[in-house]
Structure 1
């Protein structure tokens, strides 16, 4: 299996996030990548290559031009105004129904950003673009005949919407790859198995009949992203029936999780996609510091096997997973299950 990764992604190292009014360490650290790469290379799963530089046009096909410009320039602008190189955090957020785009930088900081878990430093933009390029390159390799490709994306992406970003995510890697795969009118399914609902991915394709989105996640009534991910969100207009959320209670067992996955996979099969993207989060792991689910390494292998049985060309896009010591072996267990042809 081909793995795609760029060392540029390591440059994004948030000094801190703001949580409950205080500085708190970010769990999206470069060591996550080290754990994964070490395991992938140790198991000799296949070549690890760097992504192609495909520019910004595929990103512009998904994200608002103003948001792209903001992400690319925010740190430099704050540095110029404040005279110090500090991470960019929003102070003000628009209330519901008020979406006037402010001209001043202080107001703009909260216009696109949804929370204080996504600081922007001098390296964030280039790392986010490199991460998106991994997913884009993976999509191109699927189109060229690869059946399974792993895009080691960091920062992750599924909380970034058409005109918003949050939850460690800046650009929606999976959605950008999906837009490439559907260039010829083919149907794309996105299966999201991160602990949290991919509110950004849902927002991008909510009215789109050509992209199916299904997510298995902790109930948003109890955890982030709080305002999306409920079972009654099924799409609108022409996209009605192509969005499926399966919210699960905190602390769910592995057997319960796998049973819920089967229900979601049945809906995916009914959509009959030509391509599959898996937003693969590993914060469902029993020892993950963010999640409460009780999945094991063997459970990730079983999930991979069940997805493999669908027999659809598949791009795996890395999302969450923050138990660094075990992250690599969990990712490899999943990829080995996905690659299993027996």
Structure 2
């Protein structure tokens, strides 16, 4: 892992193009997302945060000293003893100060095309969610940027809108009790935070142990939810170097949690970055393991929305996604 070195972003448009080609080759039918507006986005994300994403680049660029992207240079302390409650919004209106409030790390620079990309990514998830609500047995939302590190009011880890959370929240209202199963190699800290106090949506994740791995500050096994959500949050962190057996055993635990939750619809945060050939991976997961995960999830026989998350080797992502989708479709009813 590189620390402090500027390099080309691994989250880039080539990911979308490569996966789209491979999934079409695997037999999936490509359809363009429909614009469902902002209501479902606003149900998950705070209105002030959404407005920041929509307006920040134009406001930033209006300054003659502005750099090419919106990036924070200061961050407020939100805990005890600060003047700002954790759930407050900033009282200032200076865009660089707002950037420190709403952007959690330097993976989330905002450029001229960021708002359009994140909005369309959320619409892809919403279009797939509506397909499930309307009776489709399964759908794949090829979202980019990804979403599971996005909090209700903060961007982090290449993520701006939490696509899986937006879809799951809508489906929980319209299609029944929902579960989110996340097998990206990074813990979905944003998704966990959004649903941490809710019982109606289970969040269950397998990921690399955050003791020494991004996002570092959440994803531990003792995080089980709080209040009404106590018991509706499951984390299975894996030690670096873990391979297929450990990964599949953990996925089996997540599947059992979905059954125990009595979920009626399933959202899958599908990241391919646990693959041993991914540049960000410290696990030893093979392409074949992703096929087996597809079978495990298909055997739940639930209406299933698969949302694209991470995966930064084009070749490894293509192989893993094709293996997963092929196995899932061969066993899931009516797909």
Mapping for residues 259-298 of structure 1, pairs under 5 Å: 259-298=249-288
- Matches of 2:237 and 2:4, distance apart in 1: 28
2:33 counterpart of 1:51: yes
> Which one of 19, 43, 46 corresponds to residue 36 of structure 1?
19
Which residue does 2:149 correspond to in 1? Answer: 159
- Matches of 1:86 and 1:341, distance apart in 2: 48
Residue ranges of structure 1 left out of the alignment (5+ in a row): 1-18
Contact 1:37 1:328 survives alignment (8 Å): no
Deviation at 1:52, TM superposition (A): 0.6
2:64 counterpart of 1:82: yes
| CA displacement 1:30-82 (0-9 Å, x = unmatched) | 11112111111223x13100011111111000001111011111111110013
Contact 1:142 1:315 survives alignment (8 Å): yes
How many pairs align? 323
2:136 counterpart of 1:146: yes
**1:186 match: secondary structure:** coil
CA separation of 1:20 and 1:82: change in aligned 2, threshold 3 A:
farther
Contact 1:102 1:108 survives alignment (8 Å): no
CA separation of 1:212 and 1:71: change in aligned 2, threshold 3 A:
same
- Matches of 2:170 and 2:95, distance apart in 1: 33
Deviation at 1:95, TM superposition (A): 2.6
TM-score by length of 1: 0.91
Which residue does 1:128 correspond to in 2? Answer: 118
CA separation of 1:53 and 1:85: change in aligned 2, threshold 3 A:
farther
Where do 4+ consecutive residues of structure 1 move more than 6 Å? none
Contact 2:133 2:175 survives alignment (8 Å): no
RMSD (Å), alpha carbons = 1.5
- Matches of 1:166 and 1:219, distance apart in 2: 18
| CA displacement 1:265-322 (0-9 Å, x = unmatched) | 1111100111000000000001000011111111111100011011111000000000
Mapping for residues 158-197 of structure 1, pairs under 5 Å: 158-184=148-174, 186-197=176-187
TM-score by length of 2: 0.93
Which residue does 2:201 correspond to in 1? Answer: 211
- Matches of 1:185 and 1:135, distance apart in 2: 15
> Which one of 41, 50, 68 corresponds to residue 50 of structure 2?
68
